[in-house]
Structure 1
Amino acid sequence: MEDAQPFFASGNYVPIATEHDVADLPIRGELPRGLRGTLFRNGPNPQFAPPDPARHHWFLGDGMVHGFTLGDGRAAWRNRWIRTDKFLAERAAGRALATGFSGGRELGIPDTGVANTSLAWHAGKLLALEEAHLPWALDPATLDTLGVEELGGQPRRFTAHPKADPATGELVFFGYSTAGPLSAEMAWGTLSPAGAVTRYERFPVPFCAMVHDFAVTEHHVLFPLMPLTGSLPRAMRGAPVFAWEPELGGHIGLLRRREGIASLRWFRAEACYAFHVLNAWEDAAGRVLADVMEFAAPPLFPRADGSPSPREATRAHLTRWVLDPAAGTDAFRRERLDDLPGEFPRMDDRRAGLPNRHGAYMGQSRGEGLDTLAWCDLATGGRRHFSVPAGDALSEAVFVPRHAAAAEGDGWLLTVAWRAAEGRSEVLVLDSRDIAAGPVATVALPGRVPHGFHGTWVPANA
C-alpha cells in the first residue's frame, strides 16, 4: 500500500527489539488496592524489516504481547513476541521472508497467522487473536507461546473479537473467507465455558469482505458485511488485496442464536464501515441496537483503483444502528451519538449483549492521533474526557470493575500512553467517577510500547 510505510518507519509505530522483564516499576500516585491482575496488550511488532516495504501494512507485523501486572501497590512489565510459524521461520533465516497478506504460504511457511490483534481469556487460557487464523495460546505468567488452539479441527478461521456471554459463559465467534482465501463465505460458532466447540455453521455471503468485528446480543448475532472487499484476481495482478468498493453497498446479516443460519436474513444500507463494535442488545420492542464506530470509508485501505478516500471520510464516530426484524423491510436506521471522532470502543463487559449505559472510546480532539479518552453516558448523551498533550497518544482503554458487585461503569480505565518528547510509554489508571481529573496512578516504563490494537484484563484470581 502506498500509505503503509509510515506505519512501519515513523514515530511510535517503529518496532522495538527488546523483550523486557521488569519486576518493580516506578509509580506516581497510588495504585488502587482493589486493582489486582494483569493488563495484557497485543499489537504488531515486526522482528525484521519487510522485504518489500511498499507492500507492508500495519496489520501484518509479528504479534507482540505486553503484560502489565498490578497488585499490592506494585507494578511489573513483561513483553514477548508470539512464536508463530512465520516468526520462527524468519528468525531461523535471519531476515523477513513473507510479503504482503500471503503470510509466506508460497514459501512453505504454515499458514497460522501472526496473532497480532487482540487477546481473550477463556476456559483458563490466554488466547492471542487475529481475524484470519485460529488463536494462539500463551502462558499468562511467562507469555511463552504454547501453540495453536485447534478447536477440534472444525473452525478454519477465528475472529479477533469473540464475544463472551456474561450469562452463559459461552464465547461466540465468527470467521470470514472460510471456504478458502478471499472466498465469499463466512461461519459462526460458540465455545462452551470449558472451551469446546458447541456450534459451527458456515454460510455464503454476497461478496468477500474484511469483517473485523461483529455484534452479539442475548438472542441475535449481527454480521456487518461492508464493501472493504478481498479479491484474488486483484491480488494476482499486483493491485491491493483489500480495497473499498462503496458501489456494492452495505449488508448486515442478522440471525437468531437459537435457530442459527436457518434464520439468517440480510439488511441493506448505503456503504459505510465499522472496524469495532461497542455493544449490542435488544430493546423492549424486539429491535436490535448496535453501537459502533462508523466510518464513511475505511482508513488504511485504498479504493479498488488505488485512489485514497477523502480524509474526512476516514474518521469514525460513535453511531447506533437500529434493525427491526418485525418491520417488514430490509432497511436499518443509523443515528450518530457523538461528534468527537475516534476509535477503539470499550465497555463494562459484564453488560455485553445487554443494554449498557456507559462506554469508552479513544478520541481525536486535535484531528490526528488518539489523544483523548472519552467516557460516555449513553442515557444522557453526556461525555467526560481526559486528554494528553499534543504529540502524545493513548491506547485503547480497558475497563475494570471496582469490585465484583460494583454498579455498571464503576471502576477504573487502564490505558497505555505514548510520551513523544520522552520517547517512552506509561500505564495510566483513571477512575471512571472522575475521568477529567486524570490518572490516579501512573506506571512509568523504561521503554516504549509501540502503537498496537487491543487488550484485556485478567484478574489475579482468574
Structure 2
Amino acid sequence: MAKAFPTDNPFLQGYYAPLHMECDANHLPITGEMPKDLCGSLYRNGPNPQFAPRGPYHWFSGDGMVHGFHVQNGRVSYLNRWVRTPKWQLENAEGEGLSGSFGNPRYSDPRIMALNSTSANTNIVWHGGRLLALEEAHAPYEMDPKSLASTGYHTFDGKLAGPVTAHPKIDPITGEMVQFGYAAKGRFTPDLSYQVVGRDGRMQRCDFFQGPYASMVHDFVVTRRHVIFPIFPLTGSMERAMKGAPPFAWEPDKGSHIGIMKRDGDVSTDIRWFKGDPCYVFHPMNAFDTDDGKVVCDMMKYAIAPLFPLPDGTPSSATPPTATLVRWTFDLAGNTDTFKEEPLDDHVGEFPRFDERFAMSAYRHGYIQGGVVTDPHNPRASRNGIVHIDLANGRSQIWDPGPHDVAGEPIFVPRSDNAPEGDGWLLAVVYRGGENRSDLAVLDATNVAAGPVALAHLSHRVPAGFHGNWRPGPL
C-alpha cells in the first residue's frame, strides 16, 4: 500500500512537493505572442518521487520526471512522464517505495539494491539523435523525444564502462559530447572516468584515473583545448552510510583540487593538479583558453557545500550557503599549483546558462536563476528571478516574476543559427505560488528586464527541478 509522504520534510512540500500525475495538454492558453520563429522542444527534468521514501529523504534522490513543451507556429503543447527506470518499475509494481535516498543500503529493499538502478532525475540532453535522461551514478536512460516513452539504458553500443555525469559538454564546432563519471569503479570510490562521444553518438574513448579522494563531482568544465576536473571536499563514504551517518558529507580540511588536462591527453600522466581553499561548485557557467596560455573558468561558487551536513550529521553552516559567480584563472605556463579568483557578479543564484554556440570559448552573456534554490523555506532572494549578466561591462538586469513566484533555470535559444551572441530567447518554467501552478515564460534575451513576451499557462504545478535543454526543429 502506498504510504503518505512525510509532512516534516520541506523538500516534499509546496514548490518542491511531488506531482502525482502524468498528463497531456495539446493547446496551452497563451498570454502575449509566442514568437513564430521559435520551433522546437524544451525538455526539463527533476526529482519527483513516485512513492514516499524509506528513511530520510534527500531532494536529489527522487524519481526523474521529464516535462516537455513542444513549441511550433506560435502554439505550445505539454506532456510529462516519469522516467520508467528499473527502480520506478519495481516500486510501481509493488505499489510502495522500496528505497532509501541515494540507494542507501540501510533503508533499501535487497531487490532495489540488486537493480542498481538510475533515478534519471537531473538533466536531459539531445545528442546523436537520442534524448537522454541523466543523473550522475549510472548510464543515461533514453526517452522518445515526442511521447517521452522510456526505452532503457543507453550504453553507447556497450562501450560505456561506469556512470555518466548529468552535465556532459557538447562541442558546438566538432559536435563531440565530452563527459566524465565519478565513483567510476564502485560506489564512493575515488575513481573517475573521462569519456568522449562523437557527433554520431559513438563512444570514442573511455579512460579511468583516480582523484585525490572520493567526492561528489557533480559537474566539470571543458574548453577548446582542455578538460578540467574539480574535486571538492563533499566526500562520499560507504562506511558512514552503513553506520547510519551521512553517505555524503562536508569535509573542508581536504581542500579543493582542480585537475587540468589537454582534451587529447593521457589521464595516467598528463593531468596537472591545482589546489585551492575548500568550496563547492555545483555548476560552472563556461570556460575558455586564452592566447597567453591560461585557462579561465566561470563558476557559481559556494563557500560551503549546501544541502549536506558534516560527517557526524550536524549542519555544515548556521544558514543555507549561497552561490555567486566568480572567475578562476589557471596559468598553465607558471610553476605554481594555485590559481587566481575574482568576483564577476554579486547576485545570489544558481543554474548558470549562456549561449551555447559559444561553449568552450570566450563569451559575453550569461544568465542565472536568481534566489536560493537550495533553501526550501525561502527559495526566493532579495533579487529573485532571471538575471542577465553582461561580462563585458559588468552590468546586470533582472526580471522578477512576482512576490510569491519562483523562476527556474533559464535556457537560451538563439533567434537564428547565425544570430549574434545573446540574440535570442530565454525559456524558463515559472512557479506561481499564489495559484499553485506553473507557466512557461519566454523572454527576449536582449531585454530580460522587460519580462516575458509570452506565457504559456499550465493548470498544475511543475515541481522544483534541476535542468533542461532545447531540441531545435519540429518533431
TM category, shorter: over 0.9
Amino acid at match of 2:215: A
Contact 2:191 2:209 in 1 (8 A): yes
Contact 1:4 1:58 in 2 (8 A): no
Match of 1:435 in 2: 448
* SS of corresponding position for 1:201: strand
Match of 2:3 in 1: none
- Quick one: distance in 2 between partners of 1:246 and 1:289? 24
Distance apart, 1:5 and its partner CA: 5.4
Structure 1 segments, 4+ long, off by >6 Å, are none
Structure 1: stretches of 5+ with no match in the other structure: none
* 1:116 and 2:110 are equivalent in the alignment: no
Distance apart, 1:112 and its partner CA: 2.7
Map 1:438-457 → 2, pairs under 5 A: 438-457=451-470
Match of 2:83 in 1: 82
Kindly, what percent of the aligned residue pairs are identical? 46
Contact 2:188 2:236 in 1 (8 A): yes
- Quick one: distance in 2 between partners of 1:144 and 1:40? 13
- Quick one: distance in 1 between partners of 2:174 and 2:425? 25
- Quick one: distance in 2 between partners of 1:330 and 1:386? 40
Structure 2: stretches of 5+ with no match in the other structure: 1-5
* SS of corresponding position for 1:59: helix
Distance apart, 1:6 and its partner CA: 2.9
Contact 2:422 2:445 in 1 (8 A): yes
- Quick one: distance in 1 between partners of 2:87 and 2:357? 36
* TM norm structure 1: 0.96
Match of 1:319 in 2: 326
Match of 1:369 in 2: 379
Contact 1:5 1:57 in 2 (8 A): no
Contact 1:8 1:15 in 2 (8 A): no
* 1:228 and 2:229 are equivalent in the alignment: no
Contact 1:7 1:57 in 2 (8 A): no
* 1:67 and 2:68 are equivalent in the alignment: yes
* 1:351 and 2:358 are equivalent in the alignment: yes
* SS of corresponding position for 1:83: coil
* 1:46 and 2:49 are equivalent in the alignment: yes
CA shift in 2, pair 1:277/1:376, >3 Å: same
Map 1:117-156 → 2, pairs under 5 A: 117-151=122-156, 152-156=158-162
**Aligned CA-pair RMSD:** 1.7
Match of 2:110 in 1: 106
CA shift in 2, pair 1:258/1:61, >3 Å: same
Give the length in aligned residue pairs.
458
Deviations 1:55-98 (A, max 9, x none): 21101100000001111111111000000000000001000001
Amino acid at match of 2:100: T
Contact 1:112 1:134 in 2 (8 A): no
- Quick one: distance in 2 between partners of 1:254 and 1:415? 33
Deviates more, 1:370-379 or 1:218-227: 370-379
Contact 2:54 2:101 in 1 (8 A): no
Deviations 1:220-252 (A, max 9, x none): 000110000001111111100000000111100
* 1:237 and 2:252 are equivalent in the alignment: no
Deviates more, 1:294-303 or 1:109-118: 109-118
Deviations 1:334-361 (A, max 9, x none): 1111111110000111011011100100
Deviations 1:405-436 (A, max 9, x none): 10011100000110011010000000012111
* 1:57 and 2:58 are equivalent in the alignment: yes
* SS of corresponding position for 1:314: coil
Distance apart, 1:312 and its partner CA: 5.3
Deviates more, 1:336-345 or 1:369-378: 369-378
* 1:181 and 2:187 are equivalent in the alignment: yes
Match of 1:420 in 2: 433
* 1:19 and 2:22 are equivalent in the alignment: yes
- Quick one: distance in 1 between partners of 2:341 and 2:129? 38
Contact 1:139 1:146 in 2 (8 A): yes
CA shift in 2, pair 1:313/1:270, >3 Å: farther
Contact 1:373 1:386 in 2 (8 A): yes
Deviations 1:359-391 (A, max 9, x none): 100112999424311101111111111012222
Deviates more, 1:163-172 or 1:366-375: 366-375
